[in-house]
Structure formats: C-alpha cells, structure tokens
Amino acid sequence: MASEHVVVNCTINGENQVFLANERDSLLEALRDRIGLTGVKEGCNNGNCGACCVNMDGRIVNSCLVMAAECEGAQIRTVEGLADGDQLSPLQNAFLEQAALQCGICTPGFLVAAEALLEQNPDPTEHEIRYWLAGNLCRCTGYDKIIKAVQQAAGQSVV
Amino acid sequence: MQAVKYARASSVEEAISLLQEGGDGARPLAGGTDVIVQARERTRDISLFVDIKHIPELIGIDHSADGLTIGAATPCYQIYGDDKIQSDYPILVDSCSLIGGTAIQGRASLGGNLCNSSPAADGIPSLIVLEAQVEIAGPNGRRSVPVEDFCTAPGRNVLAAGEFVTKLTFPAPAGGSGARFLRFIPRNEMDIAVTNAATQLRLNGDGSVAWARVSIGAVAPTPLLVADAAAALIGQPLSEQTIAAAADASRAAANPITDMRGSIRQRVHLAGVLTERTIRQAAERAA
C-alpha cells in the first residue's frame, strides 16, 4: 500500500506551520527533513535515548514515536524555541557554564526535557531531576554536569 | 518505516469500520510507544494506524461509587497525576511511573500496555490484582473480559479482527485493602522487568488476611494470576510462615525462560522475593 502525503496544521515554537508530510513520517522526520528544524536529533529511533525529545501539548515526547500525521492541531516546542533571538535561555546558559555537554547530540533533548521539568517543578531535588531525565541518555558527560546545570537554572547553589 | 497510512477516528463506530476496512494490517494507535517501533522495525506487518485517542470515551479517568474507569488510551502521566488514583489506587501509580521514562509516560497508555501483551508488561500484574475488567468494542458489539484472561501468548491476546479495547474498569477498593507493584531491574529506572509482581490484599480487624490476589510477570508466556499464593494467605495471620508459603506458590507457578535479561533460576527466585515484598508492602498500605 503506497503512503500518501498529508497536510498537517500545527503550531511550532509559537508559529503556525502548515507542512506536507508523508503519511509514514514520524514527527522527528517531519521536523528535520520537511521543516528544517535540525536541532532535534535522531539517536536510537526507537524511544530509548531521548535525543529526539520535543514538547507536544505541554508534555515531553520522543518525536520518533509520534507520527507526523498525529500532530494536526498540536502545539510543538523544539530546542529552537528556547532562545529569544541571540539570547540564550537561563537553562541554555547554565549548560554552557557547567560544561554540561561534550559531543552535543543529546543536548537538545536534555534541554527540552529539563525545561519542561522546571516549568512544572521550579525547585526540583537532585533525585527528581535524575528521575525526570532518566529517559535521556548521554554517553559523554556522566550526567553530573547536566544535573548541576539544571540545578543552576533552578537557582540552586551548585557545588 | 513500512508504508503505513494514518486515520483518526472520532467515534468507536468509526474506529471499528476503519479497522475492518484496513484488514489484517490495521492497528489501533494510542500512545504509539510500542506499535510505532513495531511498524518501523517490521516486527509486525502494519499498513494502517487507526488513531483512537481522540474518541472521547477512550481518554480520561472517571471515579464513581462503583469504582474506577480509565479510558484505554489515557496516558500514564494522567493516571499517576490523578489525586484520587494516588489515594485509592496507588498501585497504578507504582506501575504507570515505571513504564518507560518521562517522555514515554507522556504518551503510553495502560490500554496499550495491555494490548501489547508483553509477558514483562509493568501494567498488567497491577490490573490483575485490582480485578480489572477489559471493555472491548468490535464489529460484533461490545464485550467485557477479566484482565487475567486477556493475554494468550507473548504479543497475543483475545482481541479478534476489528476489535479494540475501549476502557478498563475497576471495582471500588474495599476498606482495609492495600496493593503494591514491584519490579526488579538491574538499574534504577528505564528498563524492562527481569521479573515483576503485584499483590492486593484485604485485612480483617485482627490482622488476618480476608482476601488476596497475587500476580507475577516476566516468568511465563503471559502475566500470571497465582491463585495458590492467594490461597496461602486467605484466612491466615500475616506471619512469616504465611508469607513464605505464598512466595513458594509464586516460585512454583513461575515457568520462565532464560534470556538476555535473566536466567530461569534468577527469575524463579525473584518471583518469590517480589511476592514476599509486595505482600508486606500491600499490608502496610492496607493498615
């Protein structure tokens, strides 16, 4: 059975977007290949690594596990929506100051996930941060610097 | 990805006709955290996703005097975020907060966990000890199945062509009852159970067990209801001896395989350990 194209209307980073997707496209493929938002990364493509994490209707999701056609009417936020022009968000600055990245592939997913955590829980414990981010894998940093960056962004003192 | 098509159903009737038209390759889509991977990795032939989560009766949580109803497509985060589920059915919080990580819990549903019918599903033992009923809709009308009879083999269940799960219903918790789900994995989170277990029990005023139900997972082709473990508890004081007898019953019921996650010996051992711990912790919640 041949897939057909579908027109999807949604909001991405606060702007209305109408895009044409193949019916078989994931949201990850649509964001990267159809819309050009290449901040979202493909890691495992099966829901284990969190590199493709985006915010959909207020919840973080793995965009590799969302069909693009499902996004009709959805509010999507990607890593590109965090900065205000050239001004990085406090969380992004904290990642830089804490050196919370090395190769950087996992970073957009961590930023989107951590931002969603701080929105709903502005003063999380270390345990809450680690538990929330358990679905985001980083093979470089050993996580401590990422946790410290989130703590710094939450206004907590970081040793 | 296979050349899969997508259709959004807005009513149960529309979903049934879409699934019928789609034939063997049509699959209901709720959170998609299993079926989208299966379509991509071609572990199932899927040619059409019928998105059922926009059907009103499939989403949401309803508490009434008769008990609890959860729409089959309701995502895990809504379930563990519900105040009354936290107070009256904390075992559902145990399960739903262990299924995948935060991003999975934003989409994955208990109905999907059930229909994926994995022997290691972290939702199903809890549904079994809570005596959940599975509400099913299909071309021949509606029917209801006790959850312990739903799974028939790894990845297989009683759903016939064109059928899908609409709701899970639970009786109201009886006074003096408590329930607990536990899973063993070699790390703290984000892994598939080596073995899991759930117990619900009701205590009499004198501390003896009035009623119990025990379920173990990842130790057989389907999650198991262990009637002998419950029988070892009912009518007895909650003593070391009674709990050990229930754990023995779970070890005897376990019929696992050895695979990358664990050996037969480890899983049989864990079935006993987790039965014992869920009994103790269910009793703490009952008190």
Using one digit for the tens of pLDDT, what is the confidence trace for B240-260? Answer: 999 999 999 999 999 999 999
Categorise residue B110: left if φ over 0, alpha if ψ from -120 to 50, beta otherwise: alpha
Q: Tell me whether A45 touches chain B (CB under 8 Å).
A: yes
Q: Tell me whether A55 touches chain B (CB under 8 Å).
A: no
**Are the CB atoms for B280 and B242 separated by under 8 Å?**
no
Q: Do B4 and A131 touch (CB under 8 A)?
A: no
What pLDDT score was predicted for residue A2? 53
What pLDDT score was predicted for residue B13? 97
Q: Do B1 and A24 touch (CB under 8 A)?
A: yes
Q: Do B32 and A67 touch (CB under 8 A)?
A: yes
Per-residue DSSP letter, A67:
B
Q: Tell me whether A136 touches chain B (CB under 8 Å).
A: yes
* Cα A115 from Cα B260, distance rounded (Å): 35
| pLDDT over 60 (residue A102) | yes
- Of B171, B190, B205, at which residue does a domain stop? B171
Q: Which of residues 93-122 of A touch B (CB under 8 A)?
A: 113, 116-117
Q: Do B143 and B71 belong together in one domain?
A: yes
What pLDDT score was predicted for residue B190? 81
* Residues of B in Cβ contact (< 8 Å) with A7: none
CB neighbours of residue B278 within 10 Å: 30
Q: Do B88 and B25 belong together in one domain?
A: no
Compare CB distances from B4 to A3, A45, A72 and report the shortest one's residue. Answer: A3
- In this prediction the ipTM stands at 0.94
Percent of chain B with pLDDT over 70: 100
What pLDDT score was predicted for residue A84? 95
* Cα B279 from Cα B242, distance rounded (Å): 10
* Cα A14 from Cα A81, distance rounded (Å): 8
Instruction: Among A2-11, A101-110, B7-16, B220-229, name the one with the lowest average pLDDT.
Output: A2-11
Q: What is the CATH number of the domain that holds B104?
A: 3.30.465.10
Strand arrangement of the beta sheet that strand B133-138 belongs to = B61-64, B67-71, B164-171, B133-138, B141-146
* Residues of B in Cβ contact (< 8 Å) with A25: 1
Q: Do B99 and B137 belong together in one domain?
A: yes
For chain B, the C-alpha Rg in angstroms (whole number) is 19
Q: Do A50 and B101 touch (CB under 8 A)?
A: yes
Smallest CA–CA separation between A96 and chain B, in Å? 24
Q: Do A62 and B190 touch (CB under 8 A)?
A: no
What domain range is B250 assigned to? Answer: 177-286
Smallest CA–CA separation between B186 and chain A, in Å? 14
Ranges in chain A annotated CATH 1.10.150.120: 90-153
Q: Do B221 and B240 belong together in one domain?
A: yes
Q: Do B252 and B234 belong together in one domain?
A: yes
- pLDDT (mean) for B191-213: 96
Which of these, B215, B227, B216, B199, lies nearest to B283 by C-alpha position? B199
Q: Do A133 and B102 touch (CB under 8 A)?
A: yes
Is the CATH number of domain A90-153 3.40.50.300?
A: no
Ranges in chain A annotated CATH 3.10.20.30: 5-81
Count of domains in chain B? 3
* Cα A152 from Cα A145, distance rounded (Å): 10
Class of domain A5-81: alpha beta
Q: What is the CATH number of the domain that holds B259?
A: 3.30.390.50
- Of B171, B205, B233, at which residue does a domain stop? B171
Q: Tell me whether A61 touches chain B (CB under 8 Å).
A: yes
Element (DSSP H or E) covering residue A8: strand A5-12
Q: Is A78 helix (H, G, I), strand (E, B) or coil?
A: coil
| pLDDT over 80 (residue B1) | no
- Of B136, B171, B206, at which residue does a domain stop? B171
Q: Do A70 and B32 touch (CB under 8 A)?
A: yes
Residue B2 structure tokens? 């296979």
**Are the CB atoms for A26 and A65 separated by under 8 Å?**
yes
| pLDDT over 60 (residue B275) | yes
- Written as one string, the DSSP assignment of chain B is ----EEEE-SSHHHHHHHHHHHGGGEEEESS-TTHHHHHHTTSS---EEEE-TTSGGGS-EEEETTEEEEETT-BHHHHHT-HHHHHH-HHHHHHHTTSS-HHHHTT-BHHHHHHHT-TT-SSHHHHHHTT-EEEEEETTEEEEEEGGGTEEETTEESPPTT-EEEEEEEEPPPTTEEEEEEEE-SSSSSS--SEEEEEEEEE-TTSBEEEEEEEEESSSSS-EE-HHHHHHHTTSB--HHHHHHHHHHHHHH-----BTTB-HHHHHHHHHHHHHHHHHHHHHHH-
Q: Tell me whether A43 touches chain B (CB under 8 Å).
A: no
Categorise residue A108: left if φ over 0, alpha if ψ from -120 to 50, beta otherwise: alpha
Q: What secondary structure, in 3-state letters, does A107-132 show?
A: HHHHHHHHHHHHHHCCCCCHHHHHHH
Element (DSSP H or E) covering residue A11: strand A5-12
Which of these, B145, B156, B159, B271, lies nearest to B214 by C-alpha position? B271
* Cα B271 from Cα B269, distance rounded (Å): 5
Q: Tell me whether A44 touches chain B (CB under 8 Å).
A: no
Compare CB distances from B106 to A4, A45, A61 and report the shortest one's residue. Answer: A61
pLDDT tens digits for B65-121?
A: 999 999 999 999 999 999 999 999 999 999 999 999 999 999 999 999 999 999 999
Q: Do B32 and A46 touch (CB under 8 A)?
A: no
* Residues of B in Cβ contact (< 8 Å) with A65: 31-33, 36-37, 104, 107
